[in-house]
């Protein structure tokens, strides 16, 4: 197992997901239903499916597009969205 890849991915996803809308949904659902374990289980199952889809798409894209181009495209997209949020278009 390549621990560098695992830990890098874990760290990136962990810090990217802190205090995002997914956590707000989990907090709200757990408070509303009073069933935190079911909410947690549902959240984990949904995130597994979303992650599998993302990994499959990423692996397929890497076969046809240079990963560096994908990286620049992703960074550019985040920059553009950030600017749009700053000027309150989004």
The owner of tokens 């990963």 is 67
pLDDT per position as a tens digit, 12-70:
888 888 878 888 999 999 999 999 999 999 999 999 999 999 999 989 998 999 989 98
Q: What is the pLDDT of residue 5?
A: 93
Query: Percentage helix, strand, coil, to 5, in the chain?
Result: 85, 0, 15
Which residues are CB-neighbours of 84 under 8 A, at least 6 positions away? 90
Stretch 60-86: mean pLDDT: 92
Q: What is the pLDDT of residue 34?
A: 96
pLDDT per position as a tens digit, 7-17:
999 998 888 88
Q: What is the pLDDT of residue 90?
A: 59
CA distances from 39 to 34, 51, 75 (A): 9, 18, 32
């Amino acid at each position: 197992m390549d621990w560098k890849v695992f830990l890098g991915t874990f760290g990136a996803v962990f810090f990217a997901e802190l205090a995002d809308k997914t956590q707000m949904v989990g907090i709200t659902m757990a408070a509303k239903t009073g069933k935190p374990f079911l909410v947690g289980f549902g959240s984990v199952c949904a995130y597994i499916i979303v992650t599998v889809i993302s990994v499959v798409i990423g692996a397929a894209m890497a076969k046809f597009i240079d990963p560096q181009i994908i990286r620049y495209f992703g960074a550019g997209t985040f920059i553009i969205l950030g600017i749009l949020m700053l000027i309150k278009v989004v």
